[in-house]
């Protein structure tokens, strides 16, 4: 099916319009240049590449981490239009998330999370459009279902592992999502003074098993690691399938002012984990149970983890599309290091080690590296395009470097405004990246938009990578705080329009206003409510002060976007129910008096009439 019926046609119109603009260019615009006989300014070219006409659809979705907002932002590319916000670790009144019983229970005691790395589910190393996973620092991973763009599960906080930053990267067939501790601490958790850090504190690397049909996550195993700070990760693919890679800093095992104490060594490590060997060890019972988790100690079970020395305080580690090159970026260096997986395997076989850390062998740097690529200052993350092109973000240089895998030549640099962290290429984490677009996810943006006070928006900059030279073509702004994002072809995602009535198995669902009403069982009151344009039935109900009240609301609409809300004033309740959905909200009727409830989501000309009263006696 053609999802973009108007696309080609509207592009033609845009090109014509852009060319017309180009001929009337004001003097302040960049110089015109000649291309294919027609005079077009760079601006017109950029406009034509990013313009998606009204009614037309984008070619890609971008799922962008919202950092400590605890949310995921959804963009369309190339328009860079913000399409929706998916609340994950934070309540969000706009969708009622964190107010109804189920989402409240999922959030638990934590109403914030620091989300960093979204990971689309994969089949054979390619995004399959089923789920999106995302980690957060309080030891959790969430699963969002791309059928309805909603958070369905939050796993954790998991025991033993503290500060889950190197996460949620998934393996090529979504066998596992990954977790690792940024902050080491005593395992099992107990109060031990920081002076015992080097010997008593431990890092943890974990594998989270993903059930192949439901996507349900469960903590499968953990590995006890030296007390380094594990930072980023990536799963092996093709040549390196079966492996996971994690960068670490503070291999000095220092405490206090880490900016000084943890930057002493010239090299830190990338931990390479053979997750299939970890699975075998668990199956053979070679683990200790700590706080209910199966934990492997590499000192007792060799052959599971190896350490690859990597240039000073590495941040990102990124596995190239062919799986054989592993790119590690030392943020305090001017080069990025490319390791060769075959060489790593040979070094392991030959025991080409230079030492060990807590029983884990350290491989010889010279034996496993293919190149040190002089990309520029402060390399953080690398993404991949077509034809072995690689793109590395440079935080200190505030730029993106384009270079070639295999020849290692750096061919171009594009400045970013300003201070780029992550970057994301179209299908850039898969075995077959698309090229086309690259987005710089920048920490700063000042002066590039109308001022909104001391806290400026963060910026996402769209870069055209179809030609030899990278070209900045659009600035988009966002709320705090971008970390990683992933970009997937739009036609791989197949969202539903409504929740079909026949799929609603909720025990408290009512589809007929005749079945709506109030039942009492001791102090427990159940209100079964039907929401349909433009009445909330029942239109009033009575309870006694101190009753525990459950309101179960079914939105019986089967028309897309016909949402209804249930806002209960003075009770801090706002539930939003999508067409075909049933949601419950439970509360104690503490305050007596009369309280209005009403539909919070505009639904019809008589939306304002969609209201009722709760009387608490």
Binding site for ligand CUA (CB under 6 A): 564, 599, 601-603, 607, 610
CB contact at 8 A, 584 and 552 = yes
Angle 403-406-407 from CA coordinates, rounded to 5°:
65
607 binds, among ligand CUA, ligand K7E, none (CB under 5 to 8 A by kind): ligand CUA
SS3 content of the chain, % helix, strand, coil (to 5): 15, 45, 40
413 binds, among ligand K7E, ligand CUA, none (CB under 5 to 8 A by kind): none
Residue 77: how many other CB atoms lie within 10 Å: 25
232 binds, among ligand CUA, ligand K7E, none (CB under 5 to 8 A by kind): ligand K7E
Q: Which is nearer to ligand CUA, 139 or 567 (CB)?
A: 567
- Sheet containing 140-145: order of strands: 115-123, 126-136, 140-145, 150-155
**What phi-psi label fits residue 381: left (phi over 0), alpha (psi between -120 and 50 degrees) or beta?**
beta
Residue 134: how many other CB atoms lie within 10 Å: 32
CB contact at 8 A, 529 and 515 = no
Cα atoms in the Cβ-side hemisphere of radius 13 Å centred on 421: 20
106 φ/ψ angles, rounded to the nearest 5 degrees: -65, -40
Q: Which is nearer to ligand K7E, 171 or 442 (CB)?
A: 442
Angle 61-120-171 from CA coordinates, rounded to 5°:
155
161 binds, among ligand CUA, ligand K7E, none (CB under 5 to 8 A by kind): none
Q: Which is nearer to ligand K7E, 165 or 402 (CB)?
A: 165
**What is the contact mask toward ligand K7E in residues 215 to 234, using x (rule: CB under 6 A)?**
-----------------x--
Q: Which of residues 282-321 bind ligand K7E (CB under 6 A)?
A: 315
Q: How far is the CB of 75 from ligand K7E (least distance, A)?
A: 18
116 binds, among ligand CUA, ligand K7E, none (CB under 5 to 8 A by kind): ligand K7E
In the bound state, the residue with its beta carbon closest to ligand K7E is: 421
Q: Which is nearer to ligand K7E, 129 or 316 (CB)?
A: 316
Give the sign of the dihedral formed by CA 249, CA 254, CA 260, CA 264: negative
The single residue among 230, 391, 484, 598 that binds ligand K7E, judged by CB under 6 A, is 484
The single residue among 294, 402, 413, 483 that binds ligand K7E, judged by CB under 6 A, is 483
Beta strands in 171-330 (DSSP E): 176-183, 185-186, 201-210, 217-225, 229-235, 243-249, 267-274, 288-290, 293-296, 305-311, 314-319, 325-330
Q: How far is the CB of 93 from ligand CUA (least distance, A)?
A: 15
Question: Is 552 one of the binding residues for ligand K7E (CB under 6 A)?
Answer: no
Q: How far is the CB of 148 from ligand CUA (least distance, A)?
A: 19
**What is the contact mask toward ligand K7E in residues 457 to 476, using x (rule: CB under 6 A)?**
--------------------
- The beta-carbon contacts of 326-332 under 8 Å, at least 24 apart in sequence, are 326/234, 326/236, 326/240, 326/245, 326/270, 327/382, 327/390, 327/392, 328/247, 328/270, 329/375, 329/379, 329/380, 329/381, 329/382, 329/392, 330/268, 330/379, 331/378, 331/379, 331/380, 331/395, 332/263, 332/378
Question: Is 439 one of the binding residues for ligand K7E (CB under 6 A)?
Answer: no
Q: Which is nearer to ligand CUA, 163 or 567 (CB)?
A: 567
Q: Which is nearer to ligand K7E, 380 or 439 (CB)?
A: 380
Q: Which is nearer to ligand K7E, 381 or 413 (CB)?
A: 381
Give the sign of the dihedral formed by CA 394, CA 399, CA 400, CA 403: negative
599 binds, among ligand K7E, ligand CUA, none (CB under 5 to 8 A by kind): ligand CUA
The single residue among 49, 237, 422, 583 that binds ligand K7E, judged by CB under 6 A, is 422
The single residue among 163, 242, 323, 421 that binds ligand K7E, judged by CB under 6 A, is 421
Residues 335 and 217: their CA atoms lie apart, in Å, by 37
Size of site (CB under 6 A) for ligand K7E: 11
Q: Which is nearer to ligand K7E, 328 or 421 (CB)?
A: 421
Q: How far is the CB of 243 from ligand CUA (least distance, A)?
A: 52
Q: Which is nearer to ligand CUA, 80 or 531 (CB)?
A: 531
Q: How far is the CB of 404 from ligand K7E (least distance, A)?
A: 23
CB contact at 8 A, 294 and 287 = yes
Question: Is 68 one of the binding residues for ligand K7E (CB under 6 A)?
Answer: no
DSSP one-letter string for 375-393: --SSEEEEEE-STTEEEEE
Secondary structure (H, E, C), 199-218: HHEEEEEEEEEECCCCCCEE
Q: What H or E segment, with its residue span, contains residue 401?
A: strand 399-404
Residues 416 and 558: their CA atoms lie apart, in Å, by 46
Alpha helices in 146-248 (DSSP H): 197-200
Q: Which of residues 137-196 bind ligand K7E (CB under 6 A)?
A: 165
421 binds, among ligand CUA, ligand K7E, none (CB under 5 to 8 A by kind): ligand K7E
The single residue among 46, 75, 115, 117 that binds ligand K7E, judged by CB under 6 A, is 117
483 binds, among ligand K7E, ligand CUA, none (CB under 5 to 8 A by kind): ligand K7E
Q: How far is the CB of 116 from ligand K7E (least distance, A)?
A: 4
564 binds, among ligand K7E, ligand CUA, none (CB under 5 to 8 A by kind): ligand CUA
**What is the contact mask toward ligand K7E in residues 359 to 388, using x (rule: CB under 6 A)?**
---------------------xx-------
Cα separations (Å) of 570 from 51, 99, 300, 567? 45, 14, 58, 9
Q: Which is nearer to ligand K7E, 458 or 547 (CB)?
A: 458
Q: What is the binding site for ligand K7E (CB under 6 A)?
A: 116-117, 165, 232, 315, 380-381, 421-422, 483-484
């Amino acid at each position: 099916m053609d999802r973009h019926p108007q696309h080609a046609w509207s592009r033609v119109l845009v090109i014509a319009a852009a060319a017309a603009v180009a001929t009337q260019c004001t003097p302040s615009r960049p110089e015109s240049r000649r291309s294919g006989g027609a005079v077009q300014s760079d601006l017109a070219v950029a406009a034509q590449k990013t313009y998606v006409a009204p009614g037309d659809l984008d070619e890609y979705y971008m799922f962008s981490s919202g950092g400590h907002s605890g949310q995921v932002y959804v963009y369309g590319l190339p328009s860079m239009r913000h399409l929706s916000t998916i609340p994950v670790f934070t309540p969000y009144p706009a969708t009622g998330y964190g107010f109804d019983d189920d989402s409240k229970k999922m959030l638990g005691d934590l109403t914030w999370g620091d989300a960093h790395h979204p990971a689309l589910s994969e089949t054979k190393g390619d995004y399959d459009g089923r789920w999106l996973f995302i980690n957060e620092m309080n030891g959790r991973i969430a699963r969002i279902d791309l059928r309805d763009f909603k958070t369905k599960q939050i796993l954790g906080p998991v025991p033993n592992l503290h500060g889950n930053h190197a996460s949620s990267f998934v393996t090529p067939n979504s066998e596992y999502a990954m977790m690792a501790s940024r902050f080491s601490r005593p395992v099992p958790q107990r109060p031990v003074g920081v002076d015992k850090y080097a010997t008593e504190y431990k890092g943890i690397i974990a594998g989270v098993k993903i059930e192949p049909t439901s996507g349900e996550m469960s903590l499968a195993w953990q590995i006890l690691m030296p007390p380094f700070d594990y930072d980023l990760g990536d799963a092996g693919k093709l040549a390196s399938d079966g492996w996971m890679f994690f960068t670490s800093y503070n291999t000095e095992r220092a405490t206090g002012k880490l900016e000084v104490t943890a930057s002493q060594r010239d090299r830190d490590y990338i931990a390479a984990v053979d997750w299939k060997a970890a699975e075998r060890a668990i199956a053979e019972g070679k683990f200790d149970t700590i706080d209910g988790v199966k934990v492997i100690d590499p000192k007792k079970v060799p052959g599971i983890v190896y350490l690859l020395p990597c240039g000073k305080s590495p941040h990102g580690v990124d596995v190239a599309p062919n799986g054989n090159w592993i790119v590690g970026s030392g943020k305090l260096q001017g080069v990025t290091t490319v390791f060769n997986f075959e060489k790593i395997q040979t070094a392991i076989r030959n025991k080409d080690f230079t030492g060990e850390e807590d029983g884990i062998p350290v491989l010889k740097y010279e034996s496993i590296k293919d190149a040190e690529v002089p990309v520029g200052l402060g390399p953080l993350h690398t993404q991949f395009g077509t034809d072995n092109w690689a793109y590395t973000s440079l935080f200190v240089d505030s730029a993106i470097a384009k270079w070639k895998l295999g020849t290692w030549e750096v061919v171009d640099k594009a400045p970013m405004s300003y201070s780029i962290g992550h970057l994301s290429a179209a299908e850039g984490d898969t075995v077959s990246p698309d090229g086309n677009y690259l987005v710089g996810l920048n920490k700063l943006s000042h002066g590039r938009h109308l001022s909104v006070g001391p806290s400026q928006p963060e910026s996402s900059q769209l870069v055209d990578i179809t030609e030899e030279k990278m070209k900045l073509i659009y600035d988009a702004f966002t709320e705090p705080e971008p970390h990683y994002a992933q970009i997937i072809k739009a036609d791989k995602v197949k969202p539903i329009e409504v929740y079909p009535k026949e799929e609603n198995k909720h025990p408290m669902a009512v589809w007929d206003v005749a079945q709506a009403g109030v039942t009492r069982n001791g102090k427990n009151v159940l209100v079964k409510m039907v929401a349909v344009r433009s009445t909330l039935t029942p239109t009033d109900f009575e309870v006694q002060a101190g009753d525990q009240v459950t309101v179960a609301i079914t939105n019986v609409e089967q028309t897309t976007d016909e949402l209804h809300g249930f806002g209960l004033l003075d009770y801090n309740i706002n539930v939003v129910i999508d067409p075909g959905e049933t949601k419950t909200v439970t509360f104690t009727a503490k305050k007596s008096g009369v309280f209005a409830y009403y539909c919070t989501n505009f639904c019809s000309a008589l939306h304002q009439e969609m209201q009722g009263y709760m009387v608490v006696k």
